[in-house]
Amino acid sequence: MFFESFESNSFFDTTETCTPVYTEYCENYEKFYADALRDVEEAKKTREYGLDMTNHPNWFDASYISWLSYDSLHLELPDGNLYFAPIINWGKYREENGRLVMLVTVRLNHAIADGYLVANIFRLLENEISYFVGL
């Protein structure tokens, strides 16, 4: 697997800030999920923004924007042309015309990925959601 760890955020209501949380990837979902929960609880014990690219060189950023359901999201990064890790965001789901809808945004640098690879990300996500809901 290209990415060895998953980075998410632990949000602090009192300060409205967050700190990165790293979880080592594991194909066993139950183990991965338990490890992620443990890592989030550990991150809640600190207020430091511990971006650790030295010890976690192969990570990607995944963020859930639980406060809102959105129609579009654009991330502008300083020196974005030099940022190669994917960034995946998803918002709060909502009901629309009798269906549950949750928008997902994937940001990839075109120097390392093209539309075909982005389409594969969405196909994989679609397959996993279908499997999860039993379709």
Digit-coded pLDDT (tens) for 6-18: 445 566 667 777 7
Q: What is the largest CA-CA distance in the chain?
A: 46
Which of 20-24, 56-60, 105-109 bottoms out in mean pLDDT, i.e. has the lowest?
56-60
- Are residues 71 and 90 in contact, defined by beta-carbon separation less than 8 angstroms? no
User: Do residues 71 and 130 both lie within one domain?
Assistant: yes
User: Do residues 75 and 115 both lie within one domain?
Assistant: yes
User: Do residues 58 and 36 both lie within one domain?
Assistant: yes
pLDDT digits (tens, 9 = 90+) for 37-71: 898 888 878 766 666 667 766 777 777 777 888 87
Total number of domains constituting the chain? 2
Print the domain residue range for 32: 1-62
- Are residues 53 and 7 in contact, defined by beta-carbon separation less than 8 angstroms? no
Residues 6+ positions from 44 with CB-CB distance below 8 Å: 10, 12
Which of 42-51, 94-103, 104-113 bottoms out in mean pLDDT, i.e. has the lowest?
42-51
- Are residues 49 and 25 in contact, defined by beta-carbon separation less than 8 angstroms? no
pLDDT at residue 34, as a whole number: 93
The whole-angstrom separation of Cα 1 and Cα 59 is 11
